[in-house]
Amino acid sequence: MVAQIELSDDETDRLFHALAAATRRDILRRTIVDEQSVSTLAADYDMSFAAVQKHVAVLEAAGLVIKRAEGRERLVRADPRMISRARALLARYEDLWRSRIDRLDALLAEPHDPRPTQGD
C-alpha cells in the first residue's frame, strides 16, 4: 500500500483553516501529547463546551485529530499521519521559497555594469 503524501487543494484549505485559530492549535498540541476527552479539553478554555466541540470538529474535518467514543466520553487524539503530510507540504513550500531566495541572491551577486548598452 502506498501512503498518500500529496494533499489535495481541499485538504490543504481545510488544514490551513484548522490551524488558523489559536484554540485549535492548542487542542492539537495537547492531543499530540496524550489522548484527551472533549470535556477535559473544554475545561481549560473560557468558552462553552459546544464551542470546543466545534473546534474539535474542524480539526477532525481536516484530518488532524481522530475522535472516538468510549462510553459517554468522546476521546480526541492527534493523527500523526496527517501531521506528517502537513509537515511535508510545509517543507515543499519552504524548499520553493528557499530556491527563489537563492536565485535572487545569485542574481543580485552578479556584476552589474551601469553603462547603457548600444542601441539604448
What would the 3-class secondary structure string for the chain be?
CCCCCCCCHHHHHHHHHHHCCHHHHHHHHHHHHCCEEHHHHHHCCCCCHHHHHHHHHHHHHCCCEEEEEECCEEEEEECHHHHHHHHHHHHHHHHHHHHHHHHHHHHHHCCCCCCCCCCC
pLDDT band at 110 (very low <50, low <70, confident <90, very high): confident
Residue 68 scores a pLDDT above 70: yes
pTM tops 0.85, yes or no = no
Q: Where are the domains of the chain?
A: 9-79
How many beta carbons lie within 10 A of that of residue 81, not counting itself? 13
Please name the fold of domain 9-79: Arc Repressor Mutant, subunit A (1.10.10)
